[in-house]
Structure 1
Amino acid sequence: MERKITFNELRKIKDSLPEGAIHQLADEFHLEVETVRNYFGGANYDRGRSVGIHVEPGPNGGIVLLDDTQILERAEQLLKDVN
């Protein structure tokens, strides 16, 4: 399922995750840690790969179209669990 979100919102979710959550997501989805970071707007393609995000320029860092929302949905669940 595709989802649109602003780049700034995506980064805010990443920055709000509890300590170790990026590693947890990488383990759960059998991905490299840098690949999960790239999902949240990083750009380290030497150690991670692209994961189907497309950024269109605009306000709030632009609009990000996510091809697959599983990582984002799990990250949002982790945030709910913490709060």
Structure 2
Amino acid sequence: MERKITFNELRKIKDSLPDGTIRQLAQEFNIEVETVRNYFGGANYDRGRSVGLHIEPGPNGGIVLLDDTKILERAEQLLAEIH
């Protein structure tokens, strides 16, 4: 399922995650840690893969179209559990 979110919102979610969550997500989805970071707007393609993230210029860092929302949904679930 696709989802649109601003780049700034996506980064805010990443920055709100507790320490170790990126590694936890990588383990849960059986992917490299850098791939999870790339999902949240990183750009380390030497160690991580591209993850179907498309950015259109605009306000708030632009609009991000995510081809697969599983990582984002899990991150939001983890944030909800701690609040």
Give the alignment's TM-score, normalised by structure 1. 0.99
Aligned to 1:27: 27
Aligned to 2:51: 51
Aligned to 1:38: 38
Secondary structure in 2 aligned to 1:46?
Answer: coil
Secondary structure in 2 aligned to 1:36?
Answer: helix
Instruction: State how 1:1-83 maps to structure 2 within 5 Å.
Output: 1-83=1-83
Aligned length: 83
C-alpha deviations, 1:24-43, integer Å up to 9, x for none?
00000000000000000000
Unmatched segments (≥5 aa) in structure 1: none
Unmatched segments (≥5 aa) in structure 2: none
Secondary structure in 2 aligned to 1:68?
Answer: coil
C-alpha deviations, 1:12-61, integer Å up to 9, x for none?
00000011000000000000000000000000000001000000000000
C-alpha deviations, 1:49-77, integer Å up to 9, x for none?
10000000000000000000000000000
Give the alignment's TM-score, normalised by structure 2. 0.99
